Amino acid sequence: MDPWGISDLLEIWQADRKGCVLGAIYQRVERTSAQEGRRVSTFSIRQIGEKNLFTCDPINIKTVLATKFKDFDLGGAKIKGIRPLLGNGILVSAHAGWTYARRLLRPHFDPEHISHLDREERHVQKAMLGLSIVQDRWTAVVDLQSILFDLTLNSTAEFLFGENINSSQGTTDLNGDFADNFDLAQRYCVGRTALGKLYWLLNGPEFKHSCHQVHAFIDQFVEPVMQTRMKQSSQGLNSPTSPTTILHALAGTTQSLTDIRFQLLNLLFAGRDTTATLLSWTMLQLARHPVVLQKLRQAILARFGHYNNPQNITFASLKDCQYLQWCLKEVLRLYPPIPLDHRTAIRDTVLPKGGGSDGESPVFVQKGQSVMYHPHVLHRCPNIWGDDAARFDPDRWLDIRPGWGYLPFNGGPRSCLGQQRALTVASYVMVRLLQRFDRIEDVQMSSETRHRVALVTHPADGLMVRLHEANGEID
C-alpha cells in the first residue's frame, strides 16, 4: 500500500523525464482494466496523500464540465500553482472574475475579428525566410517547430497588441528571451500543479526570474497604451468607443497594468502555444504519412490554387475545405493541446458512472476532491474510436460523431474562447506551406515520438525536417 501515492507520482515524473508520461498514464488505465476484467474508465487515485478520481468517461467529463459545472472549480492548488506566471487572467480566474473577463473578451474572437488573413500572410512570409532552398529543391534540415512557434507568437501578439512585435522599438532583446523563459516557467507550473497543496516546494529563483522576464515582455506593450490613456484622461478626452485591439479594450476598463498584463498573457499563451502545437503535430504526421500528405495537398491546390497565385483563401473557405479540417481534427484527437486537466468539487456531488462492480453506478465526489480527466486517453479509447484508435486516419471523420468523446478545446462554459482563431490560423498556415512544398522528410523517423508536457504538449525533440519545394512554386 502507498497511502500517499508517492510511487505513482515518481512513476509519472520518471516517465515525464523520458518524454512518455502520456503513454504511462494510458498504460495505467490499461493495467487497471486488465485487473478488473473490464474496461475501466473511472477509478480512485492517490496523489500526495489525497484521494482523487480519474476519469476518461465521456458522460462523467460532460458532468464535470457542463451538466454540473457549478459543482466544480479549478481548485485552489491549481490556481496557486500557476498564478505566479499567469496571474488572475481568464485561464486562471473563477466565478465573477472569469465571467467578467469572458464577456469582455468574447466579441474580439468573432469571425469579423479573426478573419483578417492578410495579417497571417505577413507572418507566413517571415516564416518562409527560414525555409530557404539549398539543393535539389530541398531545404536544409530545420527545426520547423521553432519556426512555427515564432510564427504563432508574432501572429498572436499582433492580434492582441495591434502591432508587429518584430518592428516594435525596444523589443528585440526581450523577444529573443521570451520563448525560452515562457517555456521554462510553464514547465515549473506543471510540476507545481502536480504537487497539489505542496506546490510551494517549486518556487526557486529560476522560476521567479522566468516569470519576471515573461511579464516584462508583456509590459513593454501595455505601458505606452496606459500612459496615453492617462494623458487623454487628464486632458478631458474620451477614449475610443470601439477599440480596435484587445489591449486597447482592456485599457478602457481598468487602470491596473497588472490586470491587463495577465489577461493578455493568458491569451498570448493560448494563441501561441495551442496553434503552434497543432501545426507541429500536423506536420510531423504528414511527414510520416506521405499518402495523406499528397491527398491533402491535392485538395488544397484544387481549392486554393498554387503558392504563387493563391485564390479565395478566406475564413469561410478554409472551414469548408473538408479534408483539411479532417486532418486537423485527427491531429487534435491524437495530440490534444491540453492532454490532461482536472476540476475540484466545491460541494458534495455525484458523477453518474464509475461505481459498483460493473462501473455503471454513480460515484460520490466529496467537496475538495479533484476529478482528473484526460483527453489524451479519452481520444484513444477503443470503445469510442474503434480498435484502430491509435492510428492516424483523417478519413475516420467521414462518418464519426464522437460528441463528448472528443475534447480538443475543453468543453462546457469554459471551452476555449479562441478555438476558431486557432483553427483558422492553423488552416491558413497549412494551406500556404503545402502550396509551396510537396514532400516532407522527417530526419528523426526512426526515433520514438516523445511528448514535452508543459501547459500544452508538443514534440519533445522538436520537428527536425527537410521540405521539398514543388516545381514552379518559387521563381
What are the DSSP calls for 360-376, one per residue?
-EEEEE-TT-EEEE-HH
Identify the band that residue 378 occupies on the pLDDT scale cut at 50, 70 and 90. Answer: very high
pLDDT digits (tens, 9 = 90+) for 68-124: 999 999 988 889 999 999 999 999 998 888 999 999 999 999 988 898 899 999 999
Phi then psi dihedrals of residue 196, to 5 deg? 60, -125
At residue 170, the pLDDT reads 44
**Residue ranges at the known binding site for heme:** 416
Mean pLDDT score, 275-286 = 98
Report the C-alpha dihedral over residues 39, 41, 45, 47, rounded to 10 degrees: 140
At residue 94, the pLDDT reads 87
Look at residue 143 and tell me whether its pLDDT is greater than 50.
yes
At residue 241, the pLDDT reads 57
What does the buried/exposed string (b/e) look like for 100-135 if buried means 16 or more CB atoms within 10 Å of the residue's CB? Answer: ebeebbeebbeeeebbebebbeebbebbbeebeeee
At residue 5, the pLDDT reads 65
The grid coordinates of residue 42 equal 473511472
pLDDT digits (tens, 9 = 90+) for 305-329: 999 999 999 999 999 999 999 999 9
Question: Are 129 and 150 in contact, with CB atoms under 8 Å apart?
Answer: no
pLDDT digits (tens, 9 = 90+) for 288-299: 999 999 999 999
**Amino acid identity at 17:** R
Helix (H) or strand (E) holding 120: helix 117-128
The grid coordinates of residue 262 equal 495577465
Look at residue 391 and tell me whether its pLDDT is greater than 60.
yes
Mean pLDDT lowest among 2-16, 180-194, 250-264: 2-16
pLDDT digits (tens, 9 = 90+) for 224-233: 999 988 887 7
* CA distance readout (Å), 408 to 110, 354, 377: 19, 23, 12
pLDDT digits (tens, 9 = 90+) for 239-266: 665 677 999 999 989 889 999 999 999 9
Mean pLDDT score, 33-40 = 91
At residue 13, the pLDDT reads 75
At residue 2, the pLDDT reads 65
Mean pLDDT score, 185-204 = 91
Look at residue 282 and tell me whether its pLDDT is greater than 60.
yes
Residue closest to 365 by CA, chosen among 75, 80, 39, 1: 75
Q: What mean pLDDT value characterizes the chain? A: 91
Of residues 244 and 25, which shows the higher confidence score? Answer: 25
CATH class given for the domain over 74-339+374-469: mainly alpha
pLDDT digits (tens, 9 = 90+) for 393-452: 999 999 999 999 999 999 999 999 999 999 999 999 999 999 999 999 999 876 678 888
Question: Are 409 and 419 in contact, with CB atoms under 8 Å apart?
Answer: yes
Q: Cα–Cα distance between 410 and 309 in angstroms, integer? A: 37
**Residue ranges at the known binding site:** 416
At residue 238, the pLDDT reads 64
At residue 172, the pLDDT reads 42
* Contacts for 330 with CB less than 8 Å, ≥ 6 apart: 285, 392, 393, 394, 396, 397
Mean pLDDT score, 168-175 = 46
The grid coordinates of residue 336 equal 490534444
- Give the percent of the chain with pLDDT over 90: 74
Q: What is the pTM of this model?
A: 0.93
Instruction: For 264-324, give the DSSP string.
Output: HHHHHHHHHHHHHHHHHHHHHHHHH-HHHHHHHHHHHHHHHEETTEE----HHHHHH-HHH
Residue closest to 262 by CA, chosen among 447, 85, 463: 85
Q: Cα–Cα distance between 249 and 259 in angstroms, integer? A: 12
Mean pLDDT lowest among 81-90, 167-176, 336-345: 167-176
Residue 223 DSSP one-character state: H
Q: Cα–Cα distance between 244 and 225 in angstroms, integer? A: 13
Burial of 276 (0-12, 13-18, 19+ CB in 10 A): buried
* CA distance readout (Å), 51 to 2, 21, 41, 368: 11, 21, 17, 10
DSSP helix/strand/coil, 389: coil
- For residue 469, list its beta bridge partners: 437
Mean pLDDT lowest among 182-196, 240-254, 344-358: 240-254
Of residues 155 and 6, which shows the higher confidence score? Answer: 155
